[in-house]
Amino acid sequence: MNNSELINKLASEHNLSDKELKIILETNKFDEELKNTADIIRKENYGNKVFVRGLIEFSNYCKNNCYYCGIRRDNKNTVRYRLDKDTIMLCCKEGYELGFRTFVLQSGEDPFFTEEKMCDIISSIRNEYQDCAITLSIGEKSKESYKLFYNAGANRYLLRHETASQNHYNKLHPESMSLENRKKCLFNLKEIGYQVGSGFMVGSPYQTTENLIEDLRFLQELQPDMIGIGPYITHNQTPFSSHPNGSVELTIRLISILRLLFPKVLLPATTALGTLNLKGRELALKAGANVLMPNLSPVNVRKYYDIYNDKICTGEEAAQCKNCLEKRVGAIGYEIVIDRGDVKK
């Protein structure tokens, strides 16, 4: 089977064998045709629209100790912060005035933010901005907690599985954490009715092509509404400080593969891509991505949400960031829209 036949099969059947996926993942000879085909499929479903989500990183405290993450519990050099409810509401107000219709509340797994506190914040945002989507990205919780957040007004939940391989998971996380529980959380969220997002790091330490194929197979089982992937970027205050960063090229290739596997999925062009390559987010949009997540957090705390080194856009005001992105997106033929950007069914 030649290049075109393999890509046509992926585009028409939304699937390949493990052997065929391995061939595409391990060579760049398919890349141009992959990207072009993914862009066509994306335009068939979403046109030139790029949806923006206003990201509010409201706490960098975390009870977990993942070996790759800069805000892990044992990093004593991180300046910790929490935003209070009034500050979060101000971030939403600014974002709404700028045209954002989705707010993403993201944090480490911070026990300070109890069910009661989170429900109060969620319901306040819901009451104030009834035409907006509220996305949570706050980690593993009980099914009961997820139900409470949903009933308070949350619509979406982002929870990257990070790796679907048990062996690989054990190399990235301490024994106190469980891949089984992570997967269970994702299926609980779907059952409750959330629009669910998952995803993984590309090029994380010890990752193999076989691990990436396992990730794709898990996503086929989960059938998420959103898939967030980005290159692994090292942080110098973690046990993995000497490991190399992941590949931008492989990440872009995977974005195209994901667009063809899941034609209607919402696919972000992540900040991590923009961190490793100044044009990384544009490359992702041209390869099938259709979501951007500019930062609405107060500028004075952004640099402290340092899950990896040298993160971009930590010094820009929200309005500056959005104006910059509009110009950059327009320059490559796409358009940022004022829209909740729900997944197409």
Instruction: Give the contacts of 233 (CB within 8 A, at least 6 positions apart).
Output: 245, 246, 272, 275, 276, 308, 309, 310
Q: How confident is the model at residue 115 (pLDDT cuts 50, 70, 90)?
A: very high
Instruction: Give the contacts of 298 (CB within 8 A, at least 6 positions apart).
Output: 83, 87, 91
CA 256 to chain CA mean position, Å: 15
* CA angle at 115 for the pair 111 and 117, rounded to the nearest 5°: 85
Q: Are 209 and 22 in contact (CB under 8 A)?
A: yes
Question: 333: helix, coil or strand?
Answer: coil
Residue 181: pLDDT over 90: yes
156-158 sheet: strands from edge to edge: 54-59, 102-107, 133-137, 156-158, 195-202, 226-231
Q: Which tens digit of pLDDT belongs to each residue from 240-281?
A: 999 999 999 999 999 999 999 999 999 999 999 999 999 999
Q: Which tens digit of pLDDT belongs to each residue from 301-341?
A: 999 999 999 998 888 888 888 899 999 999 999 999 999 99
The one-letter amino acid at 6: L
Residue 4: pLDDT over 80: yes
Q: What pLDDT is stored for residue 179 in this prediction? A: 98
Q: How confident is the model at residue 234 (pLDDT cuts 50, 70, 90)?
A: very high
Percent of the chain residues past pLDDT 90, beyond the cut: 94
Q: How confident is the model at residue 188 (pLDDT cuts 50, 70, 90)?
A: very high
Residue 46: pLDDT over 80: yes
